A = this chain, B = another copy of it.
Amino acid sequence: MQAVNTPRRAGPAAVPFAAGTGGRRGRPRGTSAREIEVISLRLFTERGFDETTVEDIASEAGVSRRTFFRYFESKSEILWYQFDDEVTQLRAAFDRVPARADVMTAIREVVVSVNHYGPEDVAELRARINLIGSVPALQASATQHYDAWERAVSDFAAQRRGEAADELIPLAIGRSTLAACRAAFDVWVRRGDAELTVYLDAALTALGGGFAG
């Protein structure tokens, strides 16, 4: 149904020698995905997403436009550079859930546990979510990345229910869970009065209760 996640990401040679120039072979990198991300995040918030060209970003990073596209397959992929890692964490956390725990409760606890951010990351996270929520081009690019996140949840639900992940209920659980989390993210960004985890817990508790009351 949906295409497999594109393997292309990170740098020219995917996962080459972690960081550092230590003991590699050819010409060293002119920049890094992380550096491009930081530069872009600044330019996007200053001038706006559409008003920032790839040329602008590449120029500030000290590389050519062509090289930019060797680090990110599109301009909007920059903001998702980190997000994808969370999916890995999510799957790992699901694997550690005790066998007979209630499904929706387990999902809530896992999702909340994965979303503990240190105070030093909050500012950047806010900026990122803010951009994703306000720029249409970025909202559009979200779908692909959400798919992987949803599937992690669907896979867990399917396994516990003894069904396939593409059956109606596991599919609905995966997607509804993300939907509730996105609501939590948005409200958290708008009113910064509490921890993100508080909103996530509230949204997922309501989801698990069928939004009764």
Tell me the A residues contacting B by CB distance below 8 Å.
1-3, 103-104, 133-134, 136, 139-144, 157, 166-169, 171-173, 175-176, 178-180, 182-184, 186-187, 190, 199, 202-203, 206-212
Contacts and interface: CB of A to CB of B under 8 A. Distances in A.
A142 B183 CA distance: 18
Contacts of A103: 211
Contact of A3 (B3, B136, B143): B136
A211 B169 contact: yes
Given A2-B134, A139-B143, A183 B211 contact: no
Contacts of A187: 166-168, 171
Given A139-B144, A140-B143, A175-B179, 13 more contacts: A104-B211, A104-B212, A140-B144, A143-B143, A166-B186, A166-B187, A166-B190, A168-B199, A169-B206, A172-B184, A175-B183, A176-B176, A176-B207
Nearest to A168: B187
Residue of A2, A187, A211 ringed by the most chain B CB atoms within 10 A: A211
The secondary structure that dominates the A interface is: helix
Nearest to A150: B179
A180 B186 contact: no
Contacts of A203: 168-169, 172
A136 B1 CA distance: 11
Contacts of A180: 172, 175-176
Contacts of A190: 1, 166
A206 B157 CA distance: 13
A1 to B, nearest CB: 6
A187 to B, nearest CB: 5
A210 B104 contact: yes
19 contacts: A1-B186, A1-B190, A2-B134, A3-B134, A103-B211, A104-B210, A104-B212, A136-B143, A166-B186, A168-B199, A168-B202, A169-B206, A172-B180, A172-B183, A172-B206, A175-B180, A176-B176, A176-B180, A210-B210
